[in-house]
Amino acid sequence: MTFKKIRFVTDSVADIPADLAEKWQIKIVPCYVNYDGESHLDDGKDLVRGEFFRKLPSMRTMPTTAAPSVGITEKAITEAAQDADHVVIVTTPAKLSGIYNAMRLGASNIPPEKVSLVDSGMVTMALGWQVIVGAEVAAETGDVQKVLDAIQRVRDNEKLYAGLATMEFLRRGGRVGWAAASIGALLQIKPILNVKDGEVTPLARIRTFGKAVEKLVELTREQAPLDRLAIIHANNLSGAEDLKRQLGDVVPENTIIIEVGPTLGVHIGPGALGVIPVSKSWRQ
């Protein structure tokens, strides 16, 4: 077997912490968030996450999001290919965004045998875990097929549950059909969302946010023993830290707490909390 140098490209919806992206030389292509007549890069610099979420409830019009241009994806993929024998691109689901197609077009000038394009079926760190584990396996094996197999096993053994403080932003975003139904009743509940294979579905409808957090704890514990865990929040760091505390002894040592980027945050709204556990079963 020939050891290959494998590089990774993903999009900013992955919410991969900067230190891990740097460690594994992961190229992250930023998406766009548009509001007040301007287009902003979701790159952690142009938009400051906490400041964005504080402004979001009082914005006159709902911000919109957009996939990166083909020119931007092509540049990132070409740069990754120059330093690698193979490029693995892992993206936000095609069912939810045009990002997958922008990456596909951006990779069209790379020889097919040098690139793999993967629809993660997931968002935020559920996408991020697939990329990070793929990079780890690539460093260990230099084997493209083993990398792709590991990514699939992570996808099969991870969960993404999110509790929303309000339904308003999901409804206004219009991406999820069921969110537009029974508005009067839905706005009074705190839904637990489940993301799987690019589909966002309500797993539970709960009356208080405190009870929603308890449900997140229960759902996470069901996945133990855990290999990895990410706790995500939208301008709710104290809530994320308390959620971690409530999880107690199931929390892995390498647990990450991270604020989601504006591209996703536009749709879930400020105050949201989520858990992304990866079961140890992925290693089997």
pLDDT digits (tens, 9 = 90+) for 181-215: 445 445 577 889 999 999 988 888 888 999 999 99
- Tens of pLDDT, residue by residue over 152-184, are 999 999 999 999 988 777 776 555 555 544 454
How many whole angstroms separate alpha carbon 182 and alpha carbon 73?
39
Domain ranges of the chain: 6-31+67-156, 161-283
pLDDT confidence tier of residue 248, bands split at 50, 70 and 90: very high
pLDDT tops 60 at residue 58: yes
Q: Describe the chain by its helix, strand, coil percentages, rounded to 5.
A: 45, 25, 30
Q: What is the pLDDT of residue 54?
A: 87
d(CA 15, CA 276): 12
The CATH number given to 161-283 is: 3.30.1180.10
**pTM of structure:** 0.94
Which of 17, 138, 32 is closest to 80 using CA atoms?
138
Question: Does residue 111 register a pLDDT over 60?
Answer: yes
Q: Kindly tell me if the per-residue pLDDT of 241 is higher than 60.
A: yes
Q: Which fold has domain 6-31+67-156?
A: Rossmann fold (3.40.50)
pLDDT in tens, 60-87: 888 999 999 999 999 999 999 998 999 9
Whether cis (ω within 30° of 0) applies to the bond prior to 225 is: yes
What's the confidence (pLDDT) of residue 165? 87
pLDDT of residue 187: 57
Calculate mean pLDDT across residues 143-147: 98
Q: Which residues of 149-165 are buried (b: 16+ CB within 10 A; e: fewer)?
A: ebbebbbebbbbbbbbb
* Mean pLDDT for all residues in the chain: 91
Do 6-31+67-156 and 161-283 agree at the fold level? no
pLDDT at 4 over 80: yes
pLDDT the model gives residue 203: 87
Across 48-55, average pLDDT? 84
At residue 42's C-alpha, the angle toward residues 89 and 108, to 5°, is 30
Residues 6 or more apart whose CB falls under 8 angstroms from that of 199 comprise 95
Q: Kindly list the distances between the CA atom of residue 270 and the CA atoms of 27, 169, 241, in Å, as whole numbers in the listed order.
A: 27, 9, 16
